[in-house]
Structure 1
Amino acid sequence: MTQELPTAEPRDETRALRADIYRLLGRLLREPPDGALLAWLATLDPEDDGDLAQAWQGLAQAAGKASPAALTRAHFRHLVGVIEGDVTPYASWYRNGALMDEALVALRRDLRRLGIARAEHSRDPEDHLAAELEVMALLVDTAAHEEAGFYHRHLAPWADVCLADLAAVDTPFYARLGELGRGFLAEESRRLAATDGETPVRFVTPPAP
């Protein structure tokens, strides 16, 4: 996704971490990790023993045992497929039972209002879960005061169910990714409904592809 929103200054550390995590989840849902990203994920070290920290640890352990080639095949099988994969990660599919339906129309209306457009190279509809997570990263990063409304309108109604389906697949890396996504969004639901909290992992910028 691309955006026309001004960058907020200064960049709050907690807000920056949240945006980075949204962006990472979107990246891993949209395409399989390359060797450098996979190796970096294997080094993540949670800072406490809470549920979300355990989810980070689970993803790190799965990353350490996976290979890029195997995850490329698994990503296709779970999230793309010849017709559709094990998981169809679109809001319209989960909310309306069909692709390119009402949820996508409502999302596009909000994106136009927010000044956010689909990247020219992207062929996925904007209601792909990765795209909605990327929008959240933009909103959090720019402190646009729209993040709670966008989250509750477009992610809260379906993302947890989609990620639960991902957590049930037979590839450990993608199952752990589903668990991590659920844990992070559960924290975001509480945060956006009340007050800010802390993320249990120290985030370092991953290597460039």
Structure 2
Amino acid sequence: MTDFQPIQLIPPVAHAAPDAEDTARADLYGLLATLLYRAPDAALLHHIAANRAHGEDAATPLGDAWNDLCDAASVTTAEQASDEYQQLFVGVGKPEVLLYGSYYQTGFLNERPLVALRDDLARYGLVRQDNVSETEDHIATLCEVMRFLVAGEDAGVSNLAEQQHFFSRHLQSWVETLCDSAAAHPQACLYARVAALLKAFMAVEAIALEMH
């Protein structure tokens, strides 16, 4: 079975995804996983700021949300990003914005949705590492699993049917609530834009996966 980590569950893949659209989807899932697992460093902030969408891509809700994040990244230091991440998602005691699916689905942590999630991860051959403190229903982990299902090389697991199943079962019902909570936090600046990008991307994914 594959060692399970919130980030870099699978190595970056350039050719496993069957087309450019899936490659872009996998890359965005991977970026969101990284941003939601830890604050970005200076290099990642610079990379985001330097890759604005242009033309038709910029004229969509997803492109608009991406460019808003680019603008925020261009004026945010790594120290500011770290402070904001700590304020929103770590804090002292209970975080001000929780990143765990079970909480949004049931009102509590470590509830029945986590059991169902672990069943699917086991079916995919994914095992959480002992040194990972976050439970598997962390939003970063779920984004990374979606990247795996989009861009992995094992067609028996990484296929459209499993993407549809995992998205509808473990993300679709609650992720918009998380995004709204993060965006509405008075201390959210960079992460208000991350939340808006996640929300826009999830809306696109919901439509695209239902159409197939």
Runs of 4+ in 1 over 3 A off after TM superposition: 7-11
Change in CA separation of 1:73 and 1:154 when aligned onto 2, cut-off 3 Å: same
Given candidates 30, 33, 51, the residue that maps to 1:26 is 33
Partner of residue 205, structure 2: 188
The answer to whether the 8 Å contact 1:44/1:56 transfers is: no
Given candidates 42, 62, 67, the residue that maps to 1:57 is 67
Shift of 1:119: 4.0
* Structure 2: 5+ residue stretches without partners: 153-157
CA distance in 2 between counterparts of 1:68 and 1:9 reads: 32
Q: Percent identity at matched positions?
A: 34
Shift of 1:10: 6.3
Helix, strand or coil for the counterpart of 2:134? coil
Higher relative contact order (CA 8 A, sep 6+): 1
Given candidates 168, 176, 179, the residue that maps to 1:160 is 176
* Structure 1: 5+ residue stretches without partners: 196-209
CA distance in 2 between counterparts of 1:177 and 1:84 reads: 21
TM-score calculated relative to the size of structure 2:
0.85
CA distance in 2 between counterparts of 1:127 and 1:11 reads: 27
CA distance in 2 between counterparts of 1:163 and 1:9 reads: 30
CA distance in 2 between counterparts of 1:119 and 1:136 reads: 18
CA distance in 2 between counterparts of 1:40 and 1:8 reads: 22
Amino acid at match of 1:86: E
* 1:116 corresponds to 2:126: yes
TM-score calculated relative to the size of structure 1:
0.86
Q: How does 1:1-209 map to 2 (within 5 A)?
A: 1=5, 2=9, 9=16, 11-47=18-54, 48=56, 49-142=59-152, 143-145=158-160, 146-169=162-185, 170-195=187-212
CA distance in 2 between counterparts of 1:158 and 1:10 reads: 27
Paired residue total: 192
CA distance in 2 between counterparts of 1:8 and 1:139 reads: 14
